[in-house]
Each structure stands twice: as C-alpha cells, then as structure tokens.
Chain A
Amino acid sequence: MSRQARREAIEGYICISPWLVGFVMFVAGPILASLLLSLTYWDIGSAPRWVGLQNYVEIFTNDGDFLQALKVTLTYAVVTLPLHLVLGLALSLLLNLRLRGMNFYRTLFYIPAVLPIVAVTMLWIWIFNPEFGVINHLLSLVGIEGPTWFHSPRWALPGLMLLGLWGVGGGAVIYLAGLQNIPPHLYEAAEIDGANIWRRFWRITLPLLTPTLFFQLVLNLIATFQVFTQSYIATQGGPLQATFFYMLYIYNKAFGTLRMGYGSALAWILTLIILAVTLLVFRSSPHWVYYEAERRKEDA
C-alpha cells in the first residue's frame, strides 16, 4: 500500500469510527449479550444464574401470556398490513393527480405521522370515549350504537387499529414518490393504444410500483411487531389482555418484574419471528416485485 493510500485508509477508519463504536456497543454487543442473557435467570439484584434453555422451554410450554401476546400482535399485523398498503396506495394515487392545492393535501395527510404518539393516543382515547366521544356520536347519526371501544375486550384492538390507520399518510408519501418516478410516456403510449384507466393501473402503475410496495411492506412489518406506546397508554394491554402486544409483554417482564433473562428470551423469539417473516417476504419478491433494470438485462 502506498503512503498516500495508507493515509487515506487511516482517515477512512477515523471517519467511520463513531459508527463502529456504536455498532459494537449498541448493536453487536447487545445482540450477543441478549442471547447469553436469555439463557440465564437474572433479576438484577443477584448474580445471573445459568439456566440453559429453561426460559425458552417455559415460554413454549407453559406461558399463556406469550401465546396471547403473539396472538394479539399477529392479529394486528395481519389486519393492518394489507389495510395500510391498500389505503396508502389509494391515497397516493389521489395525491398524484394534478390538482390545485395538492401540496396542501400532501402536507395535511402526512401530519399524523409526525405527531407524538402519546398525544395522538390521548386524543383518540377521548375520541373513542364511549359516552361523550366523537366516534360514537357519528355512529349514532347513522343509527349505530357505538361500542365501548377501549373498555371492551372485543373492540379495544380494532380501536387501536383505527388509531394506527390515521397515520396512513406516512406510507402514502412514499408511494407517491414511486408513482412520480414512473415515466409518463408509458401512460401516453398506453392511452393511444386504447388502454383504459383501469388497465393502465394494473399493467403499468402497479408493476412499476412493486419495488416501493416491497420496501414499505418490509418496513411496516418490522414496525408492526414493535407496537408499544399506544397500548401502554390507552389500555395497558387490557381489557382482558385484548391488546396485550408482544412488546408490552417484554416491557412488563424486563422492566416490571425485572426478569431480564426471560425478557431477553422473549425478545429473541420475536426477533426470529420478524426475521423469518421478512425472509419470507424477500424470498417471495422475485415472483411479484418488478425491477426495470433486471427486465432490461433479460431483454438484451
């Protein structure tokens, strides 16, 4: 290595050193530590005791809370992921129209995504108030007697889902960027060939948007498994554990009852689930994600 190249390399390492330190201290180290911790019993007060796989055995064979937390989180994911995708896409199609005042709408729809989740949750607790809330008032206008929402084991989770959907504009902005990246000449050509708006959507818009959809799906997936604040504030996991999200369970175990080992095991299981589902999505992507560059390669 020449003197100059060596100098550049040293400067390179200096530049990335903050991240390297962070990676070791806050990512790689903790991941390893958490794996080891998950094999111990530790309540912080005394020294950690090695228990092997006992935490995992207990979780899988004798832990109803674990099953409930998994069920709530998966239900939330299965219902809200497609909803966010479809509604976000629909909203972005609207936002992509050339219309006066569109910038205003874009700004407006993105707002819920930047508001503090605590304040948003407070607001929705009040909106969902069974007796004096806005939602039940609006429902009563069309002759429906609204449920008790966060006080009802049946409606608390759907309530949190609605709360989440209010932030659908966050995804829409990303789809919008994807839409605006589609070359307009494709639409013009299709229109001259007599393709109607529906056909143009299915044959041009959707295929060319699949990379963006894929990216959003992966991000949303990871975010969905981490829902915490809404349920912590609005319902504390209740009523009757109807909104007992997985992250809430980890928090309760680790920071409520100080069972750090057990909490780590729970966190690892969740991480593996997220990893598996993400991998599945990645694996499925060649079948439905369309990359323009690859297509060109095939054609050549």
Chain B
Amino acid sequence: MNVDSPVTQGGGWLSQLRWNRRVRGRVVSFSAHFSMILLSLIFLIPMFWMLSTSLKSRAQTWLFPPEWIPNPVVWEHFPRIFEVAPVLLFFQNTMIIVFWNVLGQVFSTSLVAFGFARLRFPGRDVLFILLIATLMIPYQVTLIPTFILFKLFGWINTFLPLTVPAFTGSAFFIFLMRQYLMSLPFDLDDAARMDGCNTFQVLLFILLPLCIPPLVIVVVFTFIGVWNDFLGPLIYLNENTKYTIALGLNLLRGRNRTDYNVLMAASLLAVLPTLIVYFLAQNKLIGGIASVGLKG
C-alpha cells in the first residue's frame, strides 16, 4: 500500500491507466455483448427454424417469405412420425447400442488406462506411443477389412459390429484417462496395498472413485458419438427393424422427401437426447475437451 502510493501521487499515470481501463472496459463490454447476441442468432436461428417448422401447419410451411412463428401451433406432425416409420423401435435399437458402448468403453478405458498409468511392464512405453499413433489413422483404411471380418463372423445385420469394438477401448479415451490417472498420487496405491488390496481392488475401490471427471467425459462422448453415428449403422444394418435413429431419419426422408414438417419434428426428437445429455454434462464436458486440447 505504502509502496505504490508514491507512484500514484508522483506520476498519476497508474490511476490514469486504471481510468482508461474502466472506460475502455465499458466500450469493450458493450460491443462484446452486442456481437455475442448477434452471433447467438446465427446459432439459434437454425434451431428455432427446426422447432418452428415442426409445429407449423402445412399451409403455413409453404409460404414465401417464410413465417417464423407457427400460427396456429399444430402438434399433428409428431404423432405422424410414428405412423410413417417404427420410430419407437429405432429409439430402442439406438439405446441398446448406446448402452453396450458406454458399458464397454467405461470398462476397457479404465482397465487399459490403469495398466498404462500405474503398472510397470516391459514394452509399456512403446505400446503407449503406438496407441497415440493410432489416433492419426483415418478410419476409412480399416473400414473395408473390418466389414469383411464381421461378415466372416456372420455379424452383419446384428448390433455386434457396432457394440463389440467398444470393449477394446478407444485410443482417445484411454489417453485422456491415463493422463488423469497419472496426476493422482501413487501414495494412494501404496497405502491401499499395505491394507491388503490387490491390484484390481486398488483400481476398483481407490482410483476409479476419483476418476469421475474423465469417466463422465467417456460416457457423454460415447453416448453422443454412438447416438449420432451414421456410417456404422449404414454399413452394418440392412433391415428396417434393426435401424438406429440416424438411419431412421434418413429412411423417413426417403419416404416423405418433401414433408418438412414431419422431417423437422423427427429431427427434433433425434436431437433431443443428445441435447439433454449435453446440458446435463456441459460444464465437465467443455472442461474435458479443453484439457485434451491442451495436451497437443
């Protein structure tokens, strides 16, 4: 306090700087708010357009210039979705695939990341570099042989090609989880071992309860990724009754190419679960994406 008073009294430049900052702060904050609201519109208008179309009457849909607010509000497009295609079945199929993927990823990610982070074995570091390298491999190069492999297994038109690979983990999640495990003190393991825990009990009872943040990311990313996947189901599922939501949407479009009311209503339903999961987890999620981004 006494230290900076001579400066303030002497030159006054520091207080000048502070005052400048405050005025500029206000200008910046105003223009920032303004641009934020403008930008938000770019992100919101398409979403709003989806909602608005799903609630409009047919007559009001085919107008130019378009009308933004549904008047009257019409709900009939939502029940229509279920008449056009077995959408409930699509939801159910997608949920089953999502469930096994989440389970598989959580299991394999925890186990593999634990091995890389906490146990010593010959070749560990080389194998970990190999794991990172697989992040760079574009999926199209493995797509055709993997398809053939599953065909040999007789797994085409089952959910197995879409669920079983999850139990071998994904390099991205393993990397994320391993980085997190590395940051936990080894004293935890030692203390637990002294109390008689074996290696897997250390993982299950000591470390995993501390790994909730990265596990949330694994669960949410898996949910969103699998829910949104199109190419996988497109290649492996060829009967309507096996379709996922993503495929079902495309089917709906094939049947009613120009019925945008129904298409938008169905899109809205398809979007809703990911939106809910995203909002529930968004704080942890954005932090998690960030932590991975930094590691680059």
Q: A127 with B49: in contact, given A9-B122, A117-B230, A271-B140 (CB under 8 Å)?
A: yes
A25 engages B121 (CB within 8 Å): no
Q: A114 with B274: in contact, given A94-B32, A177-B290 (CB under 8 Å)?
A: yes
Within residues 226 to 263 of chain A, which ones have a CB less than 8 A from any CB in chain B? Answer: 226, 228-229, 232-233, 247, 250-251, 254-255, 260, 263
**Complex Cα spacing A10 to B202, Å:** 16
Residues of B within 8 A of A117 (CB): 228, 230
Shortest Cβ distance from A233 into B: residue: B250
A122 engages B168 (CB within 8 Å): no
B140 engages A270 (CB within 8 Å): yes
Chain B: minimal CB distance from A290 (Å): 13
A247 engages B140 (CB within 8 Å): yes
A116 engages B245 (CB within 8 Å): yes
B36 engages A99 (CB within 8 Å): yes
A250 engages B140 (CB within 8 Å): yes
A19 engages B293 (CB within 8 Å): no
Q: A30 with B142: in contact, given A126-B263, A255-B235 (CB under 8 Å)?
A: yes
B140 engages A109 (CB within 8 Å): no
Residues of A within 8 A of B291 (CB): 177
B64 engages A137 (CB within 8 Å): yes
Residues of A within 8 A of B182 (CB): none
B47 engages A119 (CB within 8 Å): no
A267 engages B46 (CB within 8 Å): no
B148 engages A228 (CB within 8 Å): no
Within residues 90 to 118 of chain A, which ones have a CB less than 8 A from any CB in chain B? Answer: 91, 94, 97, 99, 101, 105-112, 114-118
A264 engages B145 (CB within 8 Å): yes
B141 engages A118 (CB within 8 Å): no
Shortest Cβ distance from B258 into A: residue: A129
A9 engages B39 (CB within 8 Å): no
B36 engages A115 (CB within 8 Å): no
**Complex Cα spacing A123 to B263, Å:** 8
Shortest Cβ distance from A133 into B: residue: B66
Question: Which of A57-65, A212-220, A292-300 lines the interface with chain B?
Answer: A212-220
Shortest Cβ distance from B112 into A: residue: A19
Chain B: minimal CB distance from A192 (Å): 8
Chain A: minimal CB distance from B276 (Å): 11
**A75 an interface residue at 8 Å Cβ cutoff?**
no
Contact among B130, B263, B271 for A23, CB-based, below 8 A: B130
Residues of A within 8 A of B119 (CB): 8-9, 11-12, 15
**A22 an interface residue at 8 Å Cβ cutoff?**
yes
The contact string, 1 if C-beta is below 8 Å from chain B, for chain A 129-152, is 101111001001000000000000
Question: Which of B81-89, B95-103, B278-286 lines the interface with chain A?
Answer: B278-286
Shortest Cβ distance from B115 into A: residue: A15
**A206 an interface residue at 8 Å Cβ cutoff?**
no
Contact among B253, B268, B289 for A174, CB-based, below 8 A: B289
Residues of A within 8 A of B144 (CB): 30, 34, 37, 254, 260, 263-264, 267
Chain A: minimal CB distance from B73 (Å): 19
The contact string, 1 if C-beta is below 8 Å from chain A, for chain B 39-58, is 11011111101100100000
Pairs of residues from A and B, 9 with the lowest C-beta to C-beta distance, nearest first? A22-B168, A215-B296, A15-B115, A177-B290, A12-B121, A174-B293, A30-B145, A12-B119, A33-B145
Q: A13-B121, A105-B40, A111-B47 are in contact. List 8 more A-B contacts (CB 8 A).
A: A16-B112, A16-B115, A20-B127, A108-B44, A123-B267, A132-B61, A212-B296, A228-B231
25 contacts between A and B (CB under 8 A): A8-B199, A11-B200, A18-B111, A19-B112, A30-B141, A44-B148, A91-B39, A105-B39, A107-B279, A111-B43, A114-B275, A115-B274, A116-B245, A117-B230, A118-B230, A119-B249, A122-B249, A126-B260, A132-B64, A169-B43, A177-B294, A214-B296, A260-B148, A271-B137, A278-B136
